[in-house]
Structure 1
Amino acid sequence: MEKKLSQRKGSHVGIVLSFVIFITFIIFIYIIVQPTIKLDDRQNFLEHIEGEIIERVSTDLTSISVTIDKPGSQTCVELIDFFIITGISDRAIVKNDAGSILQASKNGNSLFVSKNSNDFFLKIHESEEFAGASGNAISPCQSLNEGGSGYNFGFVKTNKQIFETKIIKLINDYKNDYETLKGVLGVAPGDEFGFSFTYSDG
């Protein structure tokens, strides 16, 4: 979903990982007890479990790009009314154009960001999986209004992303409360399953 902010809607992103997911399911009851069951039925069941697992480890990530028209000499900017305009929560992180995470905090409805003097572009990521950015205002700070010679929005997009925190929770549920997890995922009594996640960089 991508749209311009004119519609007025819409971590450590280093924590948001791009995973190549390899999910292996071992369904003993189908293979051993019911060898004549149709392959299509087994495949449909596997696809269902795979979808359930991916849903449990994914959540919305909203990304917003901001350009600063006239950076001042201060090493901080205040984006006035940022949270009112975007409608996002303070569970956000801010990165510069080089991908470095910047110190950020929310005070009132403004977003305060510590930056280098040559940071003209900011990217804000918001998700329920991030810690809140609320805190004291950073000062001295260059106060900017939206539009004109202040700060301007580029794109706003929201999509599903896999989060490491959710994967860790799923693994813990699998280890500590396997039978309950089977019920939540819709695995029938007597059937067993397993899964694994592999980082895209190996």
Structure 2
Amino acid sequence: MNKKGSHIGIMISFTIFIVFLIFLYGILEPSIKTEKDTELILEDLKINLIKELSVEVNITTLKIIDYLGSASCIEIINPNFISSSNLVIKDKLNNELGYEKISALKINSDSNFFKIYEAELFGDRSVYLSSCLELTPINYTLGLTKANKYVSINKISELKQKYENDYGGLKNELNLYAGGEFGFNFILNNKTSIGVEEKDVSTSIYAEEISVQYVDESANILIGTLNIRTWG
């Protein structure tokens, strides 16, 4: 009799425990689901924001293999390794150099090593150069052209303007869900920041901090931090 009562007591206790777990899950499940949904929303927002802010920069190295003597300017005929005049050219000490790009490429330097950055964001910085030493392909070697994507300072400023002038349109561009809100801030390498004013909201805010490489107008590749916030 005692054994039977003991078994019944165990079954009742087990049933109460199961009911408690179901009750607990019923309370926690909405918040768990909300948190998972928010994580997915934040991840999508991060991907779309970085895509919106990124530009492609082609980087080519050029090395002179013949001694130039007193030449202070070189000319490369048919430079098919570049496709535009939107360039920043630097020497091995990272000094920015003057250049002229019409059909040939002229570089104002007596250096024997150059790094050539090409991207629309740089614009055409050509200056008039004369009396340059003409080089043929036997006088120099080219490294592989690398096409890298970086966050652009210009794009960050443009995003801030869009946020302030057409927030609804920007949310559509970023595929942010209906009713969702977001904010952002980008901290540059020098600790200054570009971003939007933080809003005082009563709901939970979900945020993520991402370290990214960015490029400035002088083709400096630096490390910055993108802070993203979403709520609603």
TM-score range, shorter chain: 0.7 to 0.9
* Residue equivalent to 2:171: 182
Give the counterpart of 2:134 among 143, 149, 172: 143
Match of 1:114 in 2: 108
1:81 partner letter: N
Residue pair 2:98, 2:126 contacting (<8 A) in 1 also: no
Alignment of 1:17-56 (within 5 A): 37-56=33-52
Deviations 1:163-200 (A, max 9, x none): 11111101110111111101111122322110110113
Question: Tell me, what secondary structure is at the counterpart of 1:188?
Answer: coil
Cα shift readout 1:107-130 (whole Å, capped 9, x = no counterpart): 21x111101x3x110010001111
TM superposition shift of 1:37: 3.6
RMSD: 1.7
**Structure 1: 5+ residue stretches without partners:** 1-33
The structure richer in helix per residue is 2
- Quote the offset at 1:35 in angstroms: 5.0
Distance 2:38 2:59 in 1: 38
Identify the match of residue 66 of structure 1 among 24, 42, 62: 62
Which segments of 5 or more consecutive residues in structure 2 lack a partner in the other structure? 1-29, 192-232
SS of 1:152 mapped into structure 2: strand
Residue aligning to 2:18: none
Could you tell me the TM-score, scaled by structure 2's length?
Answer: 0.65
| CA-CA distance at 1:160 after TM superposition | 0.4
> Which amino acid is the alignment partner of residue 178 of structure 2?
P
Contact 2:58 2:119 in 1 (8 A): yes
Give the TM-score of the pair, scaled to structure 1: 0.74
**RCO comparison, higher one (Cα < 8 Å, 6+):** 1
Report the CA distance between 1:133 and its aligned residue. Answer: 4.1
Is contact 1:74-1:140 (8 Å) kept?
Answer: no
1:103 CA displacement: 0.4
Which residue of the other structure, out of 66, 80, 105, is the alignment partner of 2:77?
A: 80
Number of corresponding residues: 161
Which of 77, 98, 105 aligns to 2:93? It is: 98
